[in-house]
Amino acid sequence: MSELDAAVFRQAMGRLVQGVSVVTTLLDGHDHAMTANTVTSVSLDPLLVLVCVESETRFHDAVLEAGVWGVSLLAAEQRPLSDWFATRGRPLHGQLDRAPFHRGEHTGVALLEGSLVHLECRTSATHPAGDHVIVVGEVCSLELPDSVGPALVHYRGRYGSIA
């Protein structure tokens, strides 16, 4: 049996296949975005989802203050966007220049074109959880494109796709 430590835990959780999303928010006219593999459905009544946000990031502060956020579930061909929005220290201004997007009708957040699903959410609860915060949001808008290709997934530290 392995010792309980962060590296072993990360390896163990890496064996869980996860979809990859970009989560966005808008605060004071500035777009903020991050790659997330921890977007999870919570409830059907009301419609709730959650995302886990690292506490020591600028996205954390922005999403908590804004109170609204969007989720773009990435298609396999959007891997470069996942890499970009996971890059620490990327500039805040112009970070969406390489990502075609439209604004959500209910929240104004950026939703990435070509994604498999778009959600707009209003934060309904937050829960401190170690070095992250669990942000729960009520879904106020849902877009399902008519045709979709394979999904971008993450498994054992690597990207892949599933149809």
What pLDDT is recorded for position 12?
81
Pick the CATH number of 18-162 from 3.40.50.300, 2.40.50.140, 2.30.110.10, 3.10.150.10: 2.30.110.10
What pLDDT is recorded for position 9?
82
Q: What pTM did the predictor assign?
A: 0.92
What pLDDT is recorded for position 3?
65
- What DSSP designation does 1 have? -
> Are 17 and 61 spatial neighbours (Cβ–Cβ below 8 Å)?
no
pLDDT tens for each residue of 79-125: 999 999 999 999 989 999 999 999 999 999 999 999 999 999 999 99
pLDDT tens for each residue of 46-78: 999 999 999 999 999 999 999 999 999 999 999
The string of DSSP letters for 96-163 reads: TTTS-EEE-TTT--EEETT-SEEEEEEEEEEEEETTEEEEEEEEEEEE--SS--PEEEEETTEEEEE-
Q: With bands split at pLDDT 50, 70 and 90, how would you rate the model's confidence at 1?
A: low
What pLDDT is recorded for position 14?
80
**Which residues lie closer than 8 Å to 106 by C-beta, 6 or more apart?**
120, 140, 141
pLDDT tens for each residue of 141-161: 999 988 788 999 999 889 999
